[in-house]
């Protein structure tokens, strides 16, 4: 087909020298910076790029820049050999999926059978689990390359100002401002993807741990419906609240990633509810006109904190309206929700963490702790306390608080679960249903990324006393997608959140896509310039249908010119 195409092009050029031969040749440029799954596959398909070559380019960036950013804990030593094997497989039997040969990065609480999984804790340093997490295995099966494991807030417990600190990895920086943190607890994978160290990242969210890093690092992120993705093989924080989901630089890439990680998993009973409720291809829902005729509610409880973000949020509302959405403004949650959510969240999460962590620790080798009490003993040992990266004080306090909790099912826990199920979840559902809205929007984070511990940054503006929305999505189990919405004057990004009813990810993705395509505000951080070899000029081979169309156009042009010559003669 390629030979025929070139002959046809030559024929057209011979008769019509002014015909757009360059356009037919489809010259293309691949750039690693901000590369998408589609642009990578175009380069793969042309033969201009291999998975091995792509992986090496990302390893080059990590080697050059991650000593400063400090986003990664472990780099896969077998990444290049895995990529080479996938290249051979592509040549012999074709790609497994659109993720074939795509390098991805996991937060270091996802089990990987071939690399340590530490949860950010020195207590699990070097621990290699017996097998992959369900999500990891699905992505391996799709041909993705597990490039690295990323830093995180220890045990996914926030504590350090700015987020992104652990006793294994130290402090991750924000890629847009090295005086700020990446937010937590999934700050490592978010910072790495924002800095273009990989294509897709994966984090977990128990109380905002995907959403905060999405906003702080200028990414598209998804805290999915609880039960849409399996938690099997993820170090648990609280299974009543935990979810795992992707980070990406575009909505399309996030939709592709999500398509490969859903599924019913017998090892996670919560996923049984998702059967029949997830499509096989989330990209099918991405249209530019998705906001026409939809009703978007505005969550006014969560606006304020930073004047620039508040102003930009109003501009986002105007954009949504210009795209055809009906805006339902000034929606407020009952005060009862805010009075109860803090204690409800901490009681459920602390109680479950103590016992569910112990269940996980049983799967590890005898040299690793088997209870939270043993984790605490290691964390307060002189060797750790006097080390370069001691356990964060607030994280350690939270471990002690969890250890003091009674067993799952104790009266305090039972009361908190009752509040979760009969007060908070109905309130979140009611604000969507009673107002007949398709999604509720709010700034994902009231304020930009926070300064690092000990850093005084006069440019940081975050007025006290406001309310954040993040834990409501966890307590209800509802999905929240984040999409880049702009930058404030100090160069830090922020995102817009769309919250919807359970399993409304197709609709939320479509809304985020329409907004993204109309605004296109995502830009890479400036501190990570392209390295040699990251730009590749090549000739793109068009799809067969495109070849036919181009030849058809050429034939018409040739015939038209020949007819005109006959008329002149």
Is 523 an annotated catalytic residue? no
Taking the CB of residue 331, how many other CB atoms lie within 10 A of it?
18
Is 71 an annotated catalytic residue? no
Q: Determine contact, residues 340/424, Cβ cutoff 8 Å.
A: yes
CA dist., res. 556 & res. 307, Å (int) = 58
For the purposes of burial, counting CB atoms within 10 Å of the CB of 36, is it exposed (0-12), middle (13-18) or buried (19 or more)?
Answer: middle
Is 107 an annotated catalytic residue? yes
Q: From residue 137, how far is each of 41, 261, 262, 270, 544 by CA, in Å?
A: 22, 9, 12, 18, 34
Q: Which of 160, 185, 186, 194 is catalytic?
A: 185
CA dist., res. 556 & res. 568, Å (int) = 18
Q: Which of 209, 238, 346, 450 is catalytic?
A: 209
Q: Which of 71, 107, 223, 349 is catalytic?
A: 107
Q: Determine contact, residues 111/364, Cβ cutoff 8 Å.
A: no
**Residue 387: which of 122, 70, 116, 72 has the closest Cα?**
122
Which string of DSSP letters, residue by residue, matches 163-195? S-EETTTEEPPBTTBTTB---SSSHHHHHHHHT
**Residue 47: which of 540, 535, 533, 532 has the closest Cα?**
540
CA dist., res. 388 & res. 383, Å (int) = 10
The distance in angstroms from the start CA to the end CA of the chain is 37
Which string of DSSP letters, residue by residue, matches 401-444? HHHTS--TT-HHHHHHHHHIIIIIHHHHHHHHHTTT-SEEEEES
- Torsion (CA) 34, 40, 43, 45 in degrees, nearest 10: -160
Which string of DSSP letters, residue by residue, matches 74-128? EE-TTHHHHHHHHHHHHHHH--SSTTTT-EEEEETTB-BTTB---TT-GGGTT--
Q: Which residues are catalytic?
A: 107, 185, 209
């Amino acid at each position: 087909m390629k030979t025929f195409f070139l002959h046809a092009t030559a024929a057209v050029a011979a008769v019509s020298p002014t015909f757009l031969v360059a356009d037919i040749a489809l010259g293309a440029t691949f750039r690693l910076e901000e590369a998408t799954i589609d642009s990578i596959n175009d380069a793969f398909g042309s033969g201009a790029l291999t998975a091995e070559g792509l992986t090496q380019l990302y390893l080059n960036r990590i080697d050059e820049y991650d000593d400063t950013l400090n986003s990664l804990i472990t780099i896969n030593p077998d990444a290049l050999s895995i990529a080479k094997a996938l290249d051979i497989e592509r040549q012999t039997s074709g790609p497994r999926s659109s993720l074939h040969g795509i390098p991805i990065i996991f937060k270091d609480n996802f089990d990987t059978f071939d690399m340590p999984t530490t949860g950010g804790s020195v207590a699990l340093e070097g621990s290699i689990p017996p097998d992959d997490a369900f999500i990891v295995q699905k992505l391996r099966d799709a041909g993705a390359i597990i490039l690295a494991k990323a830093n995180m807030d220890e045990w996914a417990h926030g504590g350090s100002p700015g987020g992104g600190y652990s006793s294994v990895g130290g402090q991750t920086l924000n890629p847009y401002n090295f005086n700020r943190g990446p937010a937590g607890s999934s700050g490592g994978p978010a910072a790495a993807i924002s800095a273009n160290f990989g294509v897709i990242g994966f984090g977990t969210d128990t109380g905002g741990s995907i959403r905060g890093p999405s906003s702080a690092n200028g990414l598209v992120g998804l805290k999915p419906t609880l039960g849409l993705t399996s938690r099997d093989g993820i170090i648990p924080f609280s299974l009543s609240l935990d979810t795992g989901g992707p980070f990406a630089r575009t909505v399309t890439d996030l939709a592709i990633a999500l398509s490969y990680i859903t599924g019913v998993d017998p090892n996670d009973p919560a996923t049984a509810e998702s059967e029949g409720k997830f499509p096989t291809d989330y990209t099918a829902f991405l249209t530019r006109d998705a906001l026409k005729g939809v009703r978007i509610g505005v969550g006014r409880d969560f606006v304020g904190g930073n004047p620039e973000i508040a102003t930009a949020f109003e501009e986002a509302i105007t954009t949504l309206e210009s795209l055809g959405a009906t805006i339902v403004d000034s929606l407020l949650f009952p005060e009862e929700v805010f009075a109860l959510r803090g204690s409800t969240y901490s009681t459920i999460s602390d109680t479950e963490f103590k016992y569910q962590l112990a269940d996980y620790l049983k799967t590890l080798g005898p040299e690793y702790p088997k209870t939270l009490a043993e984790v605490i003993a290691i964390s307060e040992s002189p060797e750790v306390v006097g080390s370069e990266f001691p356990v964060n004080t607030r994280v350690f306090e939270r471990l002690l608080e969890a250890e003091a909790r009674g067993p799952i099912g104790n009266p305090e826990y039972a009361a908190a679960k009752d509040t979760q199920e009969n007060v908070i979840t109905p309130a979140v559902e009611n604000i969507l249903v009673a107002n007949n809205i398709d999604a509720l929007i709010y700034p994902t984070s009231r304020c930009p990324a926070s300064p690092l511990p000990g850093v005084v940054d006069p440019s940081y503006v975050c007025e006290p006393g406001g309310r954040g929305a993040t834990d409501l999505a966890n307590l209800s189990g509802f999905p929240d997608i984040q999409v880049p919405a702009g930058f404030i004057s100090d160069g830090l990004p922020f995102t817009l959140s769309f919250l919807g009813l359970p399993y409304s990810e197709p609709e939320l993705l479509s809304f985020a896509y329409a907004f993204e395509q109309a605004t296109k505000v995502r830009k890479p951080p400036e501190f990570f310039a392209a390295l040699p070899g990251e730009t590749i000029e090549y000739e793109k081979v068009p799809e067969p249908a495109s070849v036919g169309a181009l030849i058809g156009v050429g034939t018409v042009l040739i015939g038209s010119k020949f007819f005109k010559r006959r008329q002149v003669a």
